[in-house]
Amino acid sequence: MTTPMAIRTEDQVLEQEVKRHIAVTTWGGLLRMVEQMYNWGRRSSLWPLQFGLACCAIEMICTAASRFDIARFGAELFRASPRQADLMIVAGRVSQKMAPVLRRIYDQMLEPKWVIAMGDCASCAGVFNNYALVQGVDKIVPVDVYVAGCPPRPEALLYGFLKLQEKIERTGGRL
């Protein structure tokens, strides 16, 4: 014997199948879904540019080694050309002579692009408070994530990388 709850009409079955297979949304909702897909793709395939200037560069290189393996987060290998990269990791202190070169390389990168300041020297010139060094790379290029330490460990760079991925997924880039 069947209960009244178990008997479904043909219209109810059809309505349930439509709900399972067809998505109904507004134009704004569709645009939000497309933006979320773009942000997921941007977050999952960051290509860093190698720009090591001091001892922090050794730690940056270690993140690509097998022990830390930044490739598992979508940054397969460091690019040598700014036209192939969308993430600049500034590792180390920036001298006044190097500042225009850094800016030119940043300008050659395609949009969207992001910057990580790795180490105390890149963030605020560290213990080197003199006229020859730029007192923070944010005076030259906009910085998205700061990684503290002198030099920061590869784990700290990976944490900064994950924070950048969260920012990209949340906002699509800069605020």
Q: What's the pLDDT tens digit per position in 36-58? A: 887 787 777 788 887 788 888 88
Q: What is the pLDDT of residue 63?
A: 86
Q: What is the pLDDT of residue 105?
A: 93
Which 3 state secondary structure label does DSSP give 150?
A: coil
Q: What is the pLDDT of residue 4?
A: 57
pLDDT digits (tens, 9 = 90+) for 93-117: 888 999 999 999 999 998 888 999 9
Q: What is the pLDDT of residue 140?
A: 92
Contact between 109 and 88 under an 8 Å Cβ cutoff? The reply is: yes
pLDDT digits (tens, 9 = 90+) for 117-132: 998 888 887 777 788 8
pLDDT digits (tens, 9 = 90+) for 137-167: 999 999 999 998 888 898 999 999 989 888 8
Q: Is the pLDDT of residue 5 over 80?
A: no
Q: What is the pLDDT of residue 104?
A: 94
Sign of CA dihedral 67, 43, 147, 92: positive
Q: Residue 172 carries which side chain, given as an amino acid letter?
A: G
Residues 6+ apart with CB under 8 A from 170: 39
Region of 131 please: left (phi>0), alpha (psi -120 to 50) or beta: alpha
Contact between 158 and 70 under an 8 Å Cβ cutoff? The reply is: yes
Q: What is the pLDDT of residue 175?
A: 44
What is each CA distance from 31 to 27, 37, 44, in whole angstroms? Answer: 6, 10, 20
Which of 157, 174, 175, 169 is closest to 35 using CA atoms? Answer: 169
Query: Is the pTM for the entire model greater than 0.85?
Result: no
Q: What is the pLDDT of residue 173?
A: 59
Mean pLDDT, the chain, as a whole number? 83
18 class by beta-carbon count within 10 Å (0-12 exposed, 13-18 middle, 19+ buried): exposed
Q: What is the pLDDT of residue 2?
A: 53
Q: What is the pLDDT of residue 13?
A: 83
